[in-house]
């Protein structure tokens, strides 16, 4: 059986589009409080990114509760309601296969905060300022 030839660019664009559609559906379900769960109803949850596998059968959904409050509880509630999310995503997007959804905490905000703290360190600021001045003299 001949395999379809596609470039990495077209494959990645397709994955990004489907991932964004999945993110939109899950965000909509959470915003409209269509998930019948007390914990999810009590928290504002941001769906920051969805990464799809190349065959579109796996979806890693990265979430962050507002202000990072009760992250473990929110993740547990999302994981408990995974079947509901999978069913809704498959119905709304009319996908051939229902993607298996996995919820993960979004660590990017914590990493950005760590980088900001490092950059504001006086030793790092001195090094950055000294390097920039030296480069201008050349």
Total-model pTM: 0.71
Query: Measured between alpha carbons, how far is residue 84 from residues 5, 34, 51, 133, 137 in Å?
Result: 35, 10, 19, 57, 62
pLDDT value for 24:
96
Cβ–Cβ < 8 Å for 71, 65:
yes
pLDDT value for 135:
45
What lies within 8 Å, CB to CB, of 69 at 6+ separation is 43
- pLDDT for 36-82, tens place per residue? 889 888 889 999 999 999 988 999 999 999 876 788 899 999 999 99
**Within 10 A of 16 (CB to CB), how many other CB atoms are there?**
13
Residue 10 has pLDDT above 70, yes or no: no
% residues pLDDT > 70 (the chain) = 78
pLDDT value for 71:
87
71 vs 9 pLDDT, higher one: 71
- pLDDT for 85-130, tens place per residue? 999 999 999 877 889 999 999 877 666 666 667 677 777 777 777 5
Q: Spelled out in words, what is the top-level CATH class assigned to the domain 8-106?
A: alpha beta
Cβ–Cβ < 8 Å for 47, 27:
yes
pLDDT value for 96:
77
pLDDT value for 8:
54
The residue extents of the domains of the chain are 8-106, 107-138
């Amino acid at each position: 059986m001949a395999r379809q030839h596609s470039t990495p660019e077209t494959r990645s664009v397709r994955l990004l589009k489907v991932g964004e559609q999945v993110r939109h559906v899950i965000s909509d379900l959470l915003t409209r409080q269509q998930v019948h769960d007390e914990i999810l109803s009590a928290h504002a949850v941001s769906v920051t990114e969805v990464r799809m596998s190349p065959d579109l059968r796996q979806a890693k959904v990265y979430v962050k509760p507002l202000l990072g409050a009760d992250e473990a509880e929110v993740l547990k509630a999302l994981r408990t309601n995974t079947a509901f999310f999978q069913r809704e995503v498959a119905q709304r997007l009319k996908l051939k296969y229902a993607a298996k959804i996995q919820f993960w905490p979004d660590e990017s905000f914590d990493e950005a905060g760590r980088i900001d703290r490092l950059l504001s360190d006086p030793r790092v600021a001195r090094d950055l300022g000294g390097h920039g001045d030296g480069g201008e003299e050349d």
